[in-house]
């Protein structure tokens, strides 16, 4: 019975979606692109990577942070992720654990190695600077479609590559941004550039994503991210290396006890 | 209180004689296998303390210095094991008791699917509060190092951890007791009377060899983190005998709970214990309070956290701790700059006597590997306090420069 009833239903759906395509609003088109972009990022099961973050101040003085991360994809919810810090040396061994959620508040823990203490911390701080860099916590957190509403603005070019311009509006009430303009490669559906506008709707930061690599022929990842603060002149370069996917990490590898054991 | 002090004196010295070569051996072991994949972290720090008043006791130095080293070496053993060695040393220019070495950890850990076994000298933290962790009972405090819960002596333990979806059950057998460290006659800051730590006495005839046991169940339910524990054995905090000021380590049973609710910018925290034993008045101790954070104050990157906690002991005036009815109020400033500049300013005020202990802690990174820290402790209105009057002239400022690796 069921098998039979599927056929007319899917035909109906097809008819409806074709109908929508003709009268698609800018919001619907924006959402459709966001879903496609996100799908391009998902279905990796889990991943591990090393990161080098170079902070550059207005005078050009650099300071470096190094860390490693592991991420577990949670179907239907935000990712679980861990970050362990290797440099600077005074924070070596400090590690964080985040259960991000699409619409609810994230859950977050911090491991302090000198105390052997796992501390549950408030996850409300989305606007704060991550490790003194130009990346805010909300920039590096798990990106879920539901965290924003969208609007398709038009087409443009970035470095000669045709892109879609899609504006995203944070659903999170404590976000530091009024809107985020995404420049998305039309062919590969990858984000090439992002502009962040502050609460006064002034341009705050511009993120450039470069050196995309197609890992295992499945997962597109930018190996170099550069965030330039338009208001302070400071910038941060975030470089990824040693990306690995589907390494077999499980939910139990993302517990507070596992956080203590991370080295 | 019947046992001869000669035995415990002996035990202390034997421990020192054992720990020193073990620390040296551990370092040699690490250096010999240096090309195996040891993960390591640590620091070497120079510390200077300046006292603003003349002491009421014989230690009359106005400046003292010390150098300390902390390290943690960890390496995998086979598929599911790991081994951790964490040596510590301090050399102090004035206080012979503060000149000491210890193994904070010397522990093998085996992990399986749903359990974990840890055997050796370990370091464990329990608790949620900021001012004082009354539930934190497994390790002895290395009290001469300071009040922070990071200063703990390595505790001999066999620990079985059962991992569940909702949290964990942790079972401990603790063979071997570590005595609390106290300043010597030449040390500052200290109370008027020096603790005669070489002549510690024990309620148990097994003294330092009494086997203590403990269990803790902990887990999280949405925004609530909960822990329940029971401990039976030798109290980590001795009572001091009069007039000898020799520590007396009594036997006790402690049950307790710790709970934290994490509600957006609010953290609500409580730790509660009940202690009972033949040589003490049964009593409860409570630390309860809240923490609120202001993020990105005035459009800057600065975060300000406010902490308020109430510390209570139901023995009230009969309590032998300084926290019988006190309030902590603290402000934490994080600049979130490249140098991770931070400051903590706090006061613990006695609600009964009015004595106040002010603390200032601040730190800032320099270059990539150096950190400069400042600490100050100031006691005010302490003249009439039955315990704190001894510290009225012990205010100090401490500067520390650490090299981290």
Whether B368 has its CB under 8 Å from any CB of chain A: the answer is yes
Q: How far apart are CA A123 and CA A107, in angstroms?
A: 6
Predicted local distance difference test score (pLDDT) of residue B382: 86
Q: How far is A53 from chain B (nearest CA, A)?
A: 12
Pairing relation of β-strands B115-122 and A95-99? unpaired
Q: How many domains does chain A have?
A: 1
CATH number at residue B180: 2.40.160.10
Instruction: Kindly report the nearest CA distance between residue B203 and chain A, in angstroms.
Output: 30
Q: Do B150 and A115 touch (CB under 8 A)?
A: yes
Which residues from chain B sit within 8 angstroms of residue A122, using beta carbons? 262, 264-267, 293
List, for residues B120-136, the tens digit of each pLDDT value.
999 999 999 999 999 99
> Does residue A27 fall inside a structural domain?
no
CATH of the domain at A68: 2.50.20.10
Cβ within 8 Å, pair B405-A129: no
With respect to residue A33, please indicate whether it lies within any of the assigned structural domains: no
For chain B positions 247-286, those within 8 Å of chain A (CB to CB) are 260, 262, 264-267
CB pairs under 8 A between A and B: 96
- In the predicted structure, residue A20 carries a pLDDT above the cut 80: no
What part of B 282-341 touches A (C-beta under 8 Å)?
293, 295-296, 301, 303, 336-340
Per-residue model confidence as pLDDT tens digits over A102-123: 778 889 999 999 999 999 988 8
A121, HSE (Cβ side, Cα atoms, 13 Å): 19
* CA-wise closest residue to B280 among B191, B203, B175: B203
CB B2 within 8 A of CB B191: no
Asked whether the beta carbons of residue A132 and residue B340 sit closer than 8 angstroms, the reply is: yes
* Chain B residues near residue A263 by CB distance under 8 angstroms: 39, 74, 82
Q: What is the pLDDT of residues B107-119, one digit of tens each?
A: 999 999 899 999 9
Closest chain B CA to residue A94: B41
Closest by Cα among B27, B29, B111, B26 to B77? B111
SS3 B395: coil
Residue of chain A whose Cα is closest to the Cα of B162? A257
d(CA B158, CA B152): 17
Which one of A57, A114, A116 has the shortest CB-CB distance to B124?
A116
Distance from CA of B365 to the nearest CA of A (A): 8
On whether residue A18 sits in a domain, the answer given is: no
Range of the structural domain that residue B363 is part of = 5-404
Of B41, B340, B365, the CB nearest to A93: B41
pLDDT of residue A1: 35
- Residues of B whose CB is below 8 A from A89: 41, 43, 368-369, 404-405
Q: Indicate if the alpha-carbon torsion angle B101, B102, B103, B104 is positive or negative.
A: negative
Q: Which of A89, A105, A122 sits opposite B369 (nearest CB)?
A: A89
The answer to whether residue A249 is domain-embedded is yes
A120–B262: do the CB atoms touch at under 8 Å? Answer: yes
Of B173, B254, B247, B158, residue with least CA distance to B210:
B173
B141 contacts chain A (CB < 8 A)? no
DSSP B197: G
Average pLDDT over residues B269-283: 96
pLDDT category, A4, cuts 50, 70, 90?
Answer: very low
Mean pLDDT (chain B) is 90
Among the listed residues A230, A229, A195, the one whose alpha carbon sits nearest the alpha carbon of residue A209 = A195
Tokens of A178: 């009024």
Q: Which two tokens stand for residue A253?
A: 């590898």
- Chain A contacts in chain B segment 100-129 (CB below 8 A): 109, 111, 113, 116, 123-125, 127
- CA A162 vs CA A36, A155, A184, A190, B77: distances in Å: 16, 7, 8, 11, 53
Report yes or no on A180 lying in a domain: yes
| Structural domain total, chain B | 1
Residue A253: inside a domain: yes
Any idea what DSSP says for residue A128? S
- Domain of residue A132, residue span: 38-261
Q: What is the pLDDT of residues B23-79, one digit of tens each?
A: 666 666 666 665 568 999 999 999 999 999 998 888 889 999 999 999 999 999 998
Are the beta carbons of A129 and B301 separated by less than 8 Å? Answer: yes
Instruction: Measure in Å the smallest separation between the Cα of B42 and chain A Cα atoms.
Output: 8
Residue A52 inside a domain? The answer is yes
pLDDT at position A162 is 96
């Amino acid at each position: 019975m069921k098998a039979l009833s599927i056929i007319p239903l899917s035909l109906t759906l097809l008819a409806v979606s074709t109908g929508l395509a003709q009268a698609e609003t800018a919001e619907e088109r924006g959402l459709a692109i966001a879903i496609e972009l996100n799908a391009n990022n998902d279905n990796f099961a889990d991943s591990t990577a090393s990161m080098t973050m170079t902070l550059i101040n207005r005078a050009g003085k650099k300071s470096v942070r190094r860390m490693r991360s592991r991420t577990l994809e949670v179907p239907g919810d935000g990712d679980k992720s861990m970050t362990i810090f290797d440099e600077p040396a005074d924070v070596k061994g400090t590690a964080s654990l985040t259960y991000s959620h699409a619409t609810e508040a994230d859950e977050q823990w911090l491991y302090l190695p000198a105390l052997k203490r796992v501390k549950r911390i408030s996850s409300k701080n989305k606007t704060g600077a991550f490790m003194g860099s130009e990346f805010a916590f909300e920039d590096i957190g798990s990106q879920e479609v539901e965290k924003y509403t969208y609007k398709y603005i038009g087409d443009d070019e970035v470095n000669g590559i045709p892109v879609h311009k899609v504006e995203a509006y944070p659903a999170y009430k404590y976000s530091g941004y009024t809107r985020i303009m995404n420049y998305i490669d039309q062919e590969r559906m990858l984000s090439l550039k992002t502009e962040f506008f502050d609460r006064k709707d002034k341009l705050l930061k511009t993120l450039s994503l470069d050196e995309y690599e197609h890992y295992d022929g499945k997962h597109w990842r930018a190996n170099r991210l550069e965030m330039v603060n338009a208001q302070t002149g400071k910038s941060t370069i975030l470089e990824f290396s040693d990306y690995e996917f589907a390494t077999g990490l499980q939910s139990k590898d993302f517990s507070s006890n596992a956080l203590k054991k991370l080295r | 209180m019947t046992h001869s002090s000669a035995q415990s004196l002996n035990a202390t010295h034997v421990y020192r004689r054992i720990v020193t070569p073990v620390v040296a051996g551990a370092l040699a072991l690490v250096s010999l296998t240096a090309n195996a994949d040891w993960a390591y972290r640590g620091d070497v720090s120079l510390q200077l303390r300046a006292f603003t008043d003349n002491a009421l006791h014989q230690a009359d130095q106005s400046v003292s210095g010390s150098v300390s080293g902390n390290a943690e070496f960890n390496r995998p053993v086979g598929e599911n094991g790991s081994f951790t060695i964490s040596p510590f040393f301090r050399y102090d220019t004035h206080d012979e008791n503060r000149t000491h070495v210890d193994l904070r950890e010397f522990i093998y850990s085996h992990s399986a699917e749903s359990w974990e076994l840890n055997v050796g000298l370990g370091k464990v933290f329990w608790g949620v509060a900021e001012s004082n962790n009354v539930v934190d009972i497994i390790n002895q405090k290395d009290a001469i190092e300071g009040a922070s819960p990071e200063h703990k002596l390595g505790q001999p333990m066999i620990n079985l951890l059962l991992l569940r979806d909702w949290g964990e059950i942790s079972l401990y057998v603790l063979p071997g007791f570590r005595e609390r460290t106290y300043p010597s006659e030449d040390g500052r800051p200290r109370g008027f009377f020096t603790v005669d730590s070489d002549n510690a006495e024990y309620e148990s005839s097994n003294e330092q060899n009494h086997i203590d046991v403990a269990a803790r169940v902990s887990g999280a339910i949405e925004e609530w983190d909960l822990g329940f524990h029971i401990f039976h054995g030798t109290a980590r905090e001795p009572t001091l005998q009069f007039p000898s000021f020799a520590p007396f380590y009594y036997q006790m049973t402690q049950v307790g709970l710790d709970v934290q609710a994490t509600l957006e910018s609010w953290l609500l925290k409580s730790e509660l214990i009940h202690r009972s034993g033949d040589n003490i008045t049964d009593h409860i101790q409570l630390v309860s309070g809240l923490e609120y954070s202001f993020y990105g104050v005035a459009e800057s990157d600065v975060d300000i956290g406010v902490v308020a906690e109430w510390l209570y002991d139901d023995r009230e005036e009969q309590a032998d701790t300084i926290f019988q009815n006190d309030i902590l109020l603290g402000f934490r400033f994080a600049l979130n700059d490249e140098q991770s500049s931070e400051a903590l300013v706090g006061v613990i005020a006695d609600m009964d006597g009015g004595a106040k202990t002010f603390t200032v802690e601040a730190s800032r990174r320099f270059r990539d590997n150096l950190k400069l820290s400042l600490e100050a402790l100031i006691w005010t209105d302490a003249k009439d306090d039955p315990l704190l009057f001894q510290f009225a002239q012990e205010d100090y400022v401490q500067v520390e420069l650490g090299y981290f690796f």
